[in-house]
Amino acid sequence: MAATARYAIGSEVHCSDGACGSLRRVVVDPIAQCVTHLVVGPGSDGDKLVPVELVDDLAEATALTCDRAAFDKLEPAEEHRFLQGREGGLGYNPAQIMMWPYFGPGVAMAGQLSAPVFAPSPYDPRPPAEERVPAGEVQIHRGDRVEAIDGETGRVHGLVVDEADHAVTHVLLAEGHLWGKKTVAVPISQVSRAEGTIRVGLSKEQLKELPDAEAGADG
C-alpha cells in the first residue's frame, strides 16, 4: 500500500446494480498496515463494513462487485468495535480511519491501550499461548461482555496478533472490580463465544492473578 490514500473519502460508492452510499472511512489493520474494509453509508440501516475484496479494481470510481441485496446483508460498521485512527495512517488523516483493536506480541503496551502503540520492553505480560487462530476467524469484538466461570468480569479490549502469521494468540480483557482496574491477556484457548457473550475458562480469582498487560510499559 502506497503512502497516498487509495480510496477517496467522500466518493460515491456503487454496487453492481446502483448507488449504495458514499465512502465515509476506511478500516485499517495496524499490524499488517493495510486497509481491510471500507465504511460505506448511510444505508437504510446504517453504515456497512465492506471488505476490500468486494471492490472492483478495474473500475475508475469506487465500485463493488456485489449487488445491493448482498450489500445490505454486510456487517454494520459499529464504531465502538474499533480504535481511533492516528497520524501516518496510509495517507489518511485520523478522522478518516478506524483501526482494528489488534496489538503486537512480545512488548509491553504503552499508555492506556488506546491505540496499538508499543514500547520496547523485555517484559511480556502474556501467559504462554497454547492455540493460535487466524485473525479473520475470531468472532470476538472490542466491547463484548466477558464472563468468567463465576460471573461477569469485564469487557474485551482487543486482540494480541502475531506479526509473523497474523494469528490471534490472546484476548485482551479490560477488567474493573473493587480490587482494581487492569488489562490482562487471556490465551485464546481459554476463550469462547456463546449466545453473544464471551466466556473465559478461568475464575475471577485466576484472572486477578494474571499480570497487568500495561505493567512495564514505562520501563
At 132-155, the pLDDT tens digits run 888 888 889 999 999 999 988 888
> CB within 8 A of 182, min separation 6: which ones?
175, 212, 213, 214
pLDDT for the residue numbered 213? 77
pLDDT at 9 over 50: yes
Q: Rounded to whole angstroms, how far apart are CA atoms 91 and 73?
A: 30
> Mean pLDDT across the stretch 104-112?
48
| Spatial CA neighbour of 66 closest among 77, 51, 76, 47 | 51
Q: How confident is the model at residue 178 (pLDDT cuts 50, 70, 90)?
A: very low
pLDDT at 177 over 90: no
pLDDT at 36 over 70: yes
pLDDT at 24 over 90: yes
For 71-74, which contacts have Cβ atoms below 8 Å and span 24 or more sequence positions?
71/15, 71/20, 71/40, 71/43, 72/43, 72/44, 72/45, 72/48, 74/48, 74/49, 74/50
Query: 211 or 111, which is more confident?
Result: 211
pLDDT for the residue numbered 12? 95
Do residues 146 and 183 make contact, with C-beta atoms less than 8 angstroms apart?
no
- Whether residue 42 is preceded by a cis peptide bond, meaning omega within 30 degrees of 0, is yes
pLDDT for the residue numbered 64? 96
List C-alpha distances in Å: 42 to 59, 154, 208: 22, 32, 42
3-state secondary structure of 71: helix
Q: Rounded to whole angstroms, how far apart are CA atoms 158 and 173?
A: 7
Q: Which three cell numbers stand for residue 183?
A: 488489562
Q: Which three cell numbers stand for residue 32?
A: 499488517
Location of C-alpha cell 517484559 = 123
Q: How confident is the model at residue 129 (pLDDT cuts 50, 70, 90)?
A: low
Given CA atoms 136, 142, 143, 149 in this order, what sign does their dihedral have?
Answer: positive
> Mean pLDDT across the stretch 56-81?
92
> Mean pLDDT across the stretch 12-24?
94
Q: Which three cell numbers stand for residue 5?
A: 490514500
How does the average pLDDT of the chain come out, rounded?
A: 81
Do residues 47 and 31 make contact, with C-beta atoms less than 8 angstroms apart?
no
| Ranges 22-31, 35-44, 206-215, most confident | 22-31
How many residues does the structure list for the chain? 219
